[in-house]
Homo-oligomer: A and B are copies of this chain.
Amino acid sequence: MAKKLLKKLADGKRVYGTCITSTAPLWIKAVRSARLDFVFLDTEHVPLERMEVAALCQLYGAAGIAPVVRIPSPDPIRACQMLDAGAEGILAPYIENVEQVREMVGAIKYRPLKGERLKQLLNNSGSVEPELKDYLANYNRGNICMLNIESVPAFEKLDDLLDVEGVDAVFIGPHDLSLSLRIPEQYDHPKFEEVVKLIVHKCRSKNKAVGIHFSDHPGRQTKWITEGVNFIIYSSDIMLLTQKLSDDFNIIRES
């Protein structure tokens, strides 16, 4: 199963996905009917462990829907486990320094290299022998390295973070970012909008894909797509259900 999400982005296409938290066997029918390019599996916040993630990665992967996994922290061991399980993209949360980015690139692009040799290579990527370089490029073809940018310190170091070779995409975490900006959940605040706009523009100008996660209504997504967002992660199954249940039962109860 060739990994195709990175290629779609490189070809200038927008890619669409939602966060899936349920392992119900027939769930894939709902996802397939929405013609999504990927599913987002959030192991930072959602109770899904390695067995479940592996099963979901194999299932959605078999259906041509790329699995993108957020790991709980920027831990290279965990990133490798998720790739072994079938993940196509790895999202590392709350990135704030270059060392974290290098470790993620090491895990996602130079796997299975580890230990001292990997450390040397990450400090000076020019040093790798052509045969080994080809081997690793082939071994990891299609893997996507995504950074969660969700704090003021991350925003301030954005150029350095993006300039580590191997970074493919940025995912903005609005909730955490609003807290870091001291304007909790104020997603219409001018300060919030200004920062997001700068991140989006910088990413696209550096040829990185960029996304932002909102769950309240589709309008938030369309607004930022206009600004350049091309990696669209919209809401989650549980949030969509919560809203739809509430809306429809309000109508029914009022009858």
User: Which residues of A are at the interface with B, using a C-beta cutoff of 8 A?
Assistant: 16, 18, 21-31, 33-36, 44-55, 57-60, 62-63, 72-73, 77-78, 81, 84-86, 94, 96, 112-117, 129, 131-132, 135, 151-154, 175-176, 179-180, 182, 184, 217-219, 221-222, 225-226, 232, 234-235, 237-238, 240-246, 248-249, 251-255
Contacts and interface: CB of A to CB of B under 8 A. Distances in A.
26 contacts: A18-B245, A21-B26, A22-B24, A25-B54, A25-B85, A25-B86, A26-B54, A26-B58, A29-B242, A30-B245, A33-B245, A33-B246, A35-B249, A47-B53, A48-B51, A51-B52, A58-B59, A59-B59, A94-B115, A115-B151, A131-B184, A132-B179, A135-B184, A218-B252, A235-B248, A240-B244
A138 to B, nearest CB: 10
A44 B81 CA distance: 7
B242 A226 contact: no
Contact of A179 (B77, B113, B182): B113
A248 B234 contact: yes
Given A49-B50, A51-B47, A84-B45, A244 B244 contact: yes
Nearest to A117: B180
A17 B184 CA distance: 34
A132 to B, nearest CB: 5
Given A24-B24, A222-B255, A30 B116 contact: no
Given A27-B22, A182-B129, A251-B222, A55 B55 contact: yes
Q: Chain B CB within 10 Å — which of A63, A113, A175, A226 has the most?
A: A63
A28 B242 contact: no
Contacts of A45: 81, 84
Nearest to A96: B115
Given A47-B53, A58-B59, A72-B77, A34 B249 contact: yes
Contact of A221 (B116, B245, B255): B255
A153 B116 contact: yes
Contacts of A48: 50-51
Given A129-B182, A221-B252, 7 more contacts: A45-B81, A62-B63, A94-B115, A117-B151, A222-B255, A240-B240, A240-B245
